[in-house]
Structure 1
Amino acid sequence: MMHGLEGLEPVSRETAAGAIASQIRERVKDGTFSPGERLGESSLASQLEVSRGPVREALQRLVQEGLLVYRRNRGVFVVSLDEEDIVDVYLARRAIEREAAKVVIRRGEAEPFDRLEECVEGMLEAAESGEWPRIADCDLCFHEHLVRASQSKRLRKMFDTLLVETRMCLSALEFAYPVHQRLATEHRSILQSMRRGDETKALGLLEAHLRDAMNDLTGKSDREP
């Protein structure tokens, strides 16, 4: 008698739908597919040289993630984040990053701090030459490494979609930071407090940084140039 598992055969670790979803996700993240843009199954299938089935499945996955939205009789579009969405994204980010920072500070291991320092240094170098895309990348690098350093699989999973949504907003922040070094300085201050083990100070700076970014994006900022 054959055991139920014996009839199964190995499959690729990433299905066609998963690979397609990854490509689309990256292009939403980097702005190649802009907010409000319609993504057609036929054109995507033709470009990717696949059938429409896996494309449809990939689009459905991204709709579930909140990166795309389905409009009846119109198709699938890249989501456009309104003020309520932005506030919600940063509310979730503050909750996740606050807990991650606590874990990293209390462990006190040097390696996470060193990796965060690399992100800050990259931000400072990019600020000197006015390279906003690289500044934004280093900004996200800092926050991603912070959450990853917590070693919590669930915090990381929750943070992944928030990262993509945040990247969709970051182009607007360029104008909120006329002095780009300010952004790097904010991150350096957070990191210095973390290195010292000053949890209260670090968490306060982190929350203020995320709150100010949210206010800048929603037009409620009162920061001075």
Structure 2
Amino acid sequence: MNPEAASVVTIPRATFASIVTERLRASIVDGSLKPGSQLSEVELATSFGVSRGPVREALQRLVQEGLLQSEAHRGVFVPVLTDEDVRDVYVAREALESAAIRSIIAGERTVAASESLDRFVTLMEQAEAAEDWEAVGNFDLEFHVALVDASASDRLKRMFSTVISETRLCLGVLTADDARDDLVQEHRLICAAMKEGETEKALAVLKKHFDDAVATLSNRSRTDAAAVDGRGGPHE
């Protein structure tokens, strides 16, 4: 057997699709791909050095996740979320995560859940001390994913996978200036209430946490709109 031929490894199309998906997801979440941007299969295939097949598959996956929007006869775009969209995302999250908290406490799964959640709170705290706000945001979302996972409900987890992706889209517009001082403390309070089996207290802290998040995102939206006006943008 020719050694050179034996060393050639054919990379499956699925692997290319996964790589493209991950890179596009990261670009959407970190704001490199701005809301309203149109994505071209041809341009992306050239950029990634792959055929259009894996790119098409990656775009379809991200549409399913809610990170991209497909419009008939127009193409695929990064969604532009309105304030109403943001509020709706958090309404859905509050419903799903409240159900998860009730399930965890009622099912006496608070010990295992707390161990998992405490780990993410500690990571958030360390990232905050290092002023790594991107990491703070990532660990924040991982905390909430772990919370729903701890419910042991496959249906809650499936529904949550969509809204958490849309949350990442919301958070992509935030900057270090938007960082909240009480973010870590709110997560600690949720953990503490769950450990004590105090369902209503945990739900109240969760609601405040989401209300504060919506307010922060709305303020950022107004700030961005004002900046456009100041540059002589379309709002004039």
TM-score, L = length of structure 1: 0.80
Structure 1: runs of 5 or more not aligned: 1-11, 221-225
Q: How many angstroms does 1:43 deviate by? A: 1.8
- 1:122 alignment partner in structure 2: 123
- 2:114 alignment partner in structure 1: 113
1:183-198 superposed matches below 5 A = 183-198=183-198
Q: How many angstroms does 1:214 deviate by? A: 1.2
Instruction: Name the aligned partner's letter for residue 53 of structure 1.
Output: G
Instruction: Name the aligned partner's letter for residue 111 of structure 1.
Output: A
1:151-183, Cα deviation, whole Å (9 max, x unpaired): 112211221222222122225274344xx4411
User: Does the 8 Å contact 1:172/1:217 carry over to 2?
Assistant: yes
Take 2:89 and 2:175, find their aligned partners in 1: how far apart are those partners?
15
User: Does the 8 Å contact 2:65/2:161 carry over to 1?
Assistant: no
Take 2:150 and 2:92, find their aligned partners in 1: how far apart are those partners?
18
CA RMSD of aligned residues (A): 2.6
Structure 2: runs of 5 or more not aligned: 1-11, 221-236
1:48-67 superposed matches below 5 A = 48-67=48-67
Take 1:101 and 1:32, find their aligned partners in 2: how far apart are those partners?
34
Take 1:13 and 1:51, find their aligned partners in 2: how far apart are those partners?
9
- 1:87 alignment partner in structure 2: 87
Residues 174/155 of structure 1: CA separation in 2 closer, same or farther (3 Å cut): farther
User: Does the 8 Å contact 1:68/1:77 carry over to 2?
Assistant: yes
Secondary structure class of the residue paired with 1:76: strand
- 1:164 alignment partner in structure 2: 165
- 2:33 alignment partner in structure 1: 33
Q: How many angstroms does 1:16 deviate by? A: 5.5
TM-score, L = length of structure 2: 0.76
Q: How many angstroms does 1:69 deviate by? A: 2.3
Q: How many angstroms does 1:140 deviate by? A: 0.7
